[in-house]
Amino acid sequence: MEQSSVGYPLLLLDNETLAHVLGDGDFRFANLTFEEAKAILDMNAEEDIARCFEDKDLENAIYEYLGIERRTFEYRPVRQMKVGQDAIAFKLYITPSGTQPIILGEEGSRLKRLRMYTYIV
């Protein structure tokens, strides 16, 4: 598979690493749907994607909500990002419902209110 536009891996960022990147240059942003983010990840081989965060909850949410095959993306510090490199930034919001973080439904089901945003940098 072809790597991102300048021959560097596609970076997966979280909110913390995105904030680090924003202080270091000019960027273009575009909102993505889950389907678009999934298509971008599916177009790239595992070795052509680098994960710049260590949050396992976010990583699990990416697989679950995008519906992509679980892969082991190499971890790379965001400071290794190059000018012109592509990235997808994910922000995971887990908010409590009212006063309870988990709602117990009928027949023992459990619900969490969750909202995930995807950005492409």
* pTM given for the model: 0.70
User: Taking 80 as the threshold, does the pLDDT of residue 42 lie above it?
Assistant: yes
The reported pLDDT for the residue numbered 119 is 52
Give the residue extent of every domain in the chain. Answer: 10-120
- Average pLDDT of span 47-64: 91
Q: List, for residues 71-110, the tens digit of each pLDDT value.
A: 999 999 887 777 778 889 888 766 555 555 565 565 656 6
CB 106 within 8 A of CB 46: no
The reported pLDDT for the residue numbered 1 is 38
User: Taking 50 as the threshold, does the pLDDT of residue 6 lie above it?
Assistant: yes
- Average pLDDT of span 30-59: 91
The strand pair at 102-104 and 49-51 is best described as unpaired
Alpha-carbon span 62 to 51, nearest angstrom = 12
**Which CATH number applies to 10-120?**
3.40.50
**7 CB contacts (<8 Å, ≥6 apart)?**
none
Q: List, for residues 107-121, the tens digit of each pLDDT value.
A: 656 655 555 555 554
- Average pLDDT of span 62-75: 90
The reported pLDDT for the residue numbered 3 is 45
The reported pLDDT for the residue numbered 110 is 61
* Residue (of 96, 93, 99) closest to 115 by Cα position: 93
- Name the token pair of 86: 């592509």
Alpha-carbon span 115 to 119, nearest angstrom = 13
User: Of residues 6 and 87, which shows the higher confidence score?
Assistant: 87
